[in-house]
Amino acid sequence: MGKKANGKETEIAVDERKVLKLAKFHRIRPLLFEYDKKTSLLAIKNKEYLKIFVTQNALKNLKDIYHTKKLLQQFETAGIPAILHKGLQYQFEIYENPQLRERGDIDVLVQKKDVLPSMNVLKDQGFGSEILNPDQPETEIGQHIEKLLSFNYLYQLPVNNKSLLLDFQWGVKSDFHSFHFPYPLIFHKATLRDFYGIRVLQVDKESLFWLMVIHHGGKDQWMRLRHLADLSAFMKTYSTQINWEAILVTARSYGLQQVLLDGFQYLKTLLSISLPAPIEERLETHQNRVYKMVFNIWENCTWGDSRFELISMYIRYLNRDNGNFDPEYYIKNLQHHYQKKQAMAYPEKYTPIDFFYDTIKLPIKLLKNK
């Protein structure tokens, strides 16, 4: 609502179609539904659309919790340490109302040495993919997995059964990402704790924070508002229990300082969230050089008009914390990412011709964006 000179309130036009498009892209439709309850922003038909979506989302959460508990228990029975990662863990641990977080698949982390024996657990639970076919002999599956593990730029295998979409991971980053993270440490620090009535292996709060920063900031560059919602929920839950001065030192050693400060800057400037003193102090001199690109993605609901735009943004973003970052190595391995379609769930094939075309245009794009 706005006000005229005579003091009367006037309606502010809202492009509801754009609002819904933004909410879908940013994966915050449950949050929009709650906001609309207080503001009556949307027309009745759009309220009904969100109500149906939120109801379906809640039912999906209940179903996924049930089947995820069964899967984690199977890993425990097999003696394989497996850790729930991202969405479902965030809902359980840092959201007061878990249904406010829109979520997709299930993410489970294991150690690299446990990938091959994990295939038996996944097969027994009916999971399959292009390289995990239940009808294949174990020796053939083993050969596929060993080849998969030989690629340092691959660390996940999307699989599914009749009940779950699962992102099975043995790492959280490719070796061509410019930041570093001691992945085995999260298993060393993990403890058995309650998860909806069963005891499962869960990361400690600092590992939860770093896994969030790595995925939402280091890999996705805070490109969805859901990322900020997660960071905000973490701060509300654990802010007073974290040594933030130590976190800043660790961020520099991981090559994640700029990424971390960008996320906190968005929280402060866009959501008016009070931050711990060490973070506030560091933000006084922080320069976010990619915010225009990120805001453009937020507003236009797109990750770039073409791949070379996205690649150029990644290079500019990833190069800020690590002066030794090698763009050529990054592009080369990104090409491998697209080629290994049987392991990575990309929506379309990225051919060598596409790669050659993008590589030629990349320097021009980088110069224009300086």
Decide which of 237 and 302 is more confident: 237
CB-CB neighbours of 196 under 10 Å: 12
Cβ pair 82, 110 in contact under 8 A = yes
Instruction: Check whether residue 104 and residue 208 sit in a common domain.
Output: yes
Which segment of 68-72, 108-112, 128-132, 159-163 scores lowest on mean pLDDT?
128-132
Q: What is the DSSP letter of 80?
A: -
Last residue of a domain, one of 162, 193, 220: 220
Beta strands at 106-109 and 198-202: parallel, antiparallel or unpaired: unpaired
The Cα–Cα gap between 259 and 216 comes to 9
Q: If 0-12 CB within 10 Å is exposed, 13-18 middle and 19+ buried, where does residue 94 land?
A: buried
pLDDT surpasses 80 at 356: no
Helix, strand, coil % over all residues of the chain, rounded to 5: 60, 10, 35
DSSP state of 113: G
Residue 193 has pLDDT above 80, yes or no: yes
Q: Based on the domain organization, do 201 and 324 belong to the same domain?
A: no
Whether 299 and 214 share a structural domain: no
Q: Are residues 194 and 297 in the same domain?
A: no
Q: Is residue 77 over pLDDT 80? A: yes
Residue range of the domain that includes 309: 293-369
Same domain, 42 and 186: yes
Inter-residue contact 179 to 322 (CB < 8 Å): yes
* Phi/psi of residue 145, nearest 5 degrees: -70, -40
Please indicate, yes or no, whether residues 56 and 186 belong to a single structural domain of this protein: yes
Q: Are 237 and 195 in contact (CB under 8 A)?
A: no
Please tell me the distance from the alpha carbon of residue 228 to that of residue 215, in angstroms, as a whole number: 12
Average pLDDT over residues 301-321: 60
The one-letter code for the residue type at 360 is I
Residue 264 falls within a domain, yes or no?
A: no
**Checking phi first, is residue 185 left (phi over 0); if not, alpha (psi -120 to 50) or beta?**
alpha
User: SS3 for 151?
Assistant: coil
Instruction: Say which amino acid occupies 17.
Output: R
Q: What is the mean pLDDT of the chain?
A: 82
Q: Which long-range contacts (CB under 8 A, 24 or more apart) does 147-151 make?
A: 148/343, 149/112, 149/115, 151/336, 151/340, 151/343
Does any domain span residue 207? yes
**Total domains present in the chain:** 2
pLDDT score at 370: 47
Q: Give residue 148's pLDDT.
A: 82
Tell me what pLDDT residue 275 has.
95
Of residues 302 and 287, which shows the higher confidence score?
A: 287
Distance of CA 291 to the CA centre of its chain: 18
CATH code for the domain in which residue 50 is found: 3.30.460.40
**Which of 61-65, 187-191, 234-238, 285-289 shows the lowest per-residue confidence on average (mean pLDDT)?**
285-289
How much is the average pLDDT of 257-283?
A: 93
pLDDT band at 321 (very low <50, low <70, confident <90, very high): low
Q: Which of 174, 193, 220 is the last residue of a domain?
A: 220
pLDDT tens-digit series, residues 47-72: 999 999 999 999 999 999 999 999 99
pLDDT for 223: 87
Q: Give the CA angle between residues 317, 321, 326 to the nearest 5°.
A: 70
pLDDT band at 332 (very low <50, low <70, confident <90, very high): low
- At 123, is the pLDDT very low, low, confident or very high (cuts 50, 70, 90)? confident
Q: What is the largest CA-CA distance in the chain?
A: 80
10 in any annotated domain:
no
Which tens digits make up the pLDDT trace of 85-98? 999 999 999 999 99
